[in-house]
Structure 1
Amino acid sequence: MRKLQDMTMTEGRSIDGRRARGDASRRHVLDAAADLASLEGLDGLSIGRLASAASVSKSGIATLFGSKEQLQLATIVAATERFTATVIEPARVQPRGIRRLTALLDSVVAYSQDRVFPGGCFFSASAADFHAKAGPVRDALADQLESWLGYLAASAGFAVKQGELPGLDDPEQLAFELQGTFEWMNLMAVIRESDVHYARARRAYRDRLVSLGGDPAIAELVLTPGAALRG
């Protein structure tokens, strides 16, 4: 009986070990896929190209994902997790309202400037690839973009409820404007390889919050990278 128990425990550890290795391999491949897609486009992401970039066999990637579309969908999920970890989670140290909204704007500029994805914003690049191509991949990208826009709008809405943005009557419109500034900033900064566009975006964010009645001392924090996250 003891021998059988020992065998079962050994088999369990073996299975757990294989699962851990499989999870690590999957994370490695998806990290490489997200980086590659930000540079070369999600539509061009193929099992063969990724195998070369990640130094993994084609058969190994095919076993993990099965098809190009499943690989693309899994890459979107991985990219979302990286975006959440680098933009949204750090901002949550600030209380809901204008402080969190300002922290989100601070961190999203840094997200592009620090090249969390080497090609700039993964979602901007991928949306450009799929905006006119109906299907599950476009739907997944649209869902993530709308989720981010909704989070910005909700954060602005809390600021309104707390009397911190008295001039704002449409949080969704503000979120649309803020994201529009981000898209132009990210596009031009990547094309021109210049930081001037990041500074302009920070100024635009500051000025918009102040124009809506936001506390200038809080809005000013967005001008200095990291200040709104600490302040």
Structure 2
Amino acid sequence: MSLTQVPRSAARVRDGRPLQKGRQTKASIVEAALGLATQIGLEGLSIGALAEATQMSKSGVFAHFGSREELQISVIREYHARFESEVFYPALKEPRGLPRLRALFANWMKRTSIEIDSGCIYISGAVEFDDRAGPVRDALASSVQVWHAAMKRAIASAKDEGHLNPDVDEEQMLFEIHGLILALHYEARFLQNPGSIARANAGFDRILRQYGARSSTTKSSKKE
């Protein structure tokens, strides 16, 4: 082998370093963009504003995304990944049925109580893109639909376990639960009414009773 030839393993190490650095840089940009989006909304994001926030050049930021639209979609994906890691996955540790449904709502409320100050991408994004077709709206809607599907599965599981009435309409119950979260954002963030979190929790307990909840401590006999 001549001195000008580089072993394949060495080439991978050499070429992998810029690739890894590039991913880290992009992740840092998305982190900064997510912070901005919670304050000014997805529509307020721009390559220029992000370049200023990250102290990078506009061309440097643009090279990682290619367009403002791709930047917005990357922020939505990151927000969704964090939402799942904080709300959905921890709840899977709970038994099937009502305990898991309660855990999903409790985790959702915990995150929502934090977002009263920082803002929710799902809610602000829905306001910004509700009547605007395109990839950004599609990404937002898809993320919310994935979360809704998870909640409906939890409600159906609670029915199967006998923790809720067998004739419960999963879609209707989900609609009412989601309504509590939307009302909480409006009451606590916009109107700044004290006690909103307690009222949302009380509303959830009332919904469970309405649909025949037996016990929050019922143990499940079924596996995942």
- List alignment gaps of at least 5 residues for structure 2: 219-224
Q: Which moved more, 1:59-68 or 1:196-205?
A: 196-205
Matched residues in 1 for 2:95 and 2:206: separation?
Answer: 21
Aligned 8 A contact 1:87 1:107 in 2: yes
The answer for the alignment partner of 2:92 in structure 1 is 92
Cα pair distance change 1:19/1:25, threshold 3 Å: same
Residues matched between the structures, number: 218
**Offset, 1:81:** 0.6
Aligned 8 A contact 1:51 1:58 in 2: yes
The answer for the alignment partner of 1:16 in structure 2 is 16
Instruction: Give deviations 1:25-44, integer Å, cap 9, x for gaps.
Output: 11111122122112111112
Q: How does 1:95-106 map to 2 (within 5 A)?
A: 95-106=95-106
Q: Which amino acid aligns with 2:108?
A: V
> Aligned to 1:180, what secondary structure does the other structure show?
helix
Matched residues in 2 for 1:157 and 1:2: separation?
Answer: 67
Q: How does 1:42-81 map to 2 (within 5 A)?
A: 42-81=42-81
Instruction: Give deviations 1:21-65, integer Å, cap 9, x for gaps.
Output: 111111111122122112111112111111122333211110000
**Offset, 1:95:** 2.1
The answer for the alignment partner of 1:210 in structure 2 is 209
Q: Which amino acid aligns with 1:99?
A: P
The answer for the alignment partner of 2:143 in structure 1 is 144
**Offset, 1:87:** 0.8
Matched residues in 2 for 1:52 and 1:136: separation?
Answer: 26
Aligned 8 A contact 1:100 1:155 in 2: yes
Cα pair distance change 1:198/1:167, threshold 3 Å: farther
The answer for the alignment partner of 1:222 in structure 2 is none
**Offset, 1:78:** 1.0
Matched residues in 2 for 1:71 and 1:172: separation?
Answer: 32
**Offset, 1:180:** 1.1
State yes or no: 1:127 paired with 2:126: yes
**Offset, 1:166:** 1.5
Q: Which amino acid aligns with 1:85?
A: S
Instruction: Give deviations 1:48-100, integer Å, cap 9, x for gaps.
Output: 11112233321111000001111111111111111111111111111221111
Instruction: Give deviations 1:143-182, integer Å, cap 9, x for gaps.
Output: 1112211211111011011111016520111011111110
Cα pair distance change 1:105/1:96, threshold 3 Å: same
Cα pair distance change 1:21/1:164, threshold 3 Å: same
Aligned 8 A contact 2:117 2:189 in 1: no
Matched residues in 1 for 2:215 and 2:207: separation?
Answer: 10
Matched residues in 2 for 1:217 and 1:166: separation?
Answer: 14
The answer for the alignment partner of 1:27 in structure 2 is 27
Identical aligned pairs, as a percentage?
Answer: 32
The answer for the alignment partner of 1:201 in structure 2 is 200
> Aligned to 2:42, what secondary structure does the other structure show?
coil
Q: Which amino acid aligns with 1:110?
A: K
Aligned 8 A contact 1:38 1:121 in 2: yes
Taking structure 1 as the reference length, the TM-score comes to 0.86
Matched residues in 1 for 2:4 and 2:202: separation?
Answer: 69
Aligned 8 A contact 2:99 2:216 in 1: no
Matched residues in 1 for 2:26 and 2:93: separation?
Answer: 30
Cα pair distance change 1:53/1:188, threshold 3 Å: farther
